[in-house]
Amino acid sequence: MNKSTPTRFVLVAMTLLTTVLLAADKPATKKSEPDPLPIGSVWTGIESNDPRIAKRIEHKAKLKIIERDGTKFVADYSVAEPKNAKGARLEGTIRSGIIEARVTKINKGNWAGGAEGTWDGRVEGNEITFVRKNEKKLDITTKLTRDTGKSGEADAKG
């Protein structure tokens, strides 16, 4: 063994120890969370009128996510009112579970001004809640649950 061998050994050991310590100091890679609004997901539930109104009115509602691009999404929304089935295209964003959307196209029915303005919402797990104003500036609330059935489809008819 020559005089430089112990020096090399010490340098290799120090380099190895430094590498291990630096790697241990880095934060663990954060697991990416699942997309809260995946393409093709179907959400069904109830749209209801402002709670300040004495007569409770509820209709079946459905939301289907048809496009995603980063924080942006496009969805088809429908409501099954007995004499006025309605449908609209929503486009919006989702950030940290908070949704902001607007109607960009009326697909069906008479919305009577109820589709204008911002639809504010929140996704929490398999539930979405939207609140928007109707033409009288009263709150319309939609509460939806993600349909996890085999077909992935649910219908807002009825």
Yes or no: say if 146 and 41 are a contact pair by the CB < 8 Å rule.
yes
In angstroms, the CA 87 to CA 141 distance is 16
Neighbours of 129 (CB within 10 A): 15
pLDDT of residue 10: 57
Architecture of domain 42-146: Beta Barrel (2.40)
**For 108-126, what is each residue's pLDDT tens digit?**
998 877 778 899 999 999 9
Cα–Cα nearest to 141, from 40, 57, 32: 57
Residue whose C-alpha is closest to residue 123's, from 154, 152, 94, 88: 94
User: 3: which DSSP letter?
Assistant: T
Do 157 and 85 contact (CB within 8 A), yes or no? yes
Interacting residues of 124 by C-beta distance below 8 A, sequence separation 6+: 97
pLDDT score of 135: 80
Locate the domains of the chain by residue range: 42-146
Q: Where are the beta strands (DSSP E) in 6-71?
A: 42-48, 58-69
Instruction: Give pLDDT < 50 ranges for the chain.
Output: 150-158
Q: What is the pTM of this model?
A: 0.73
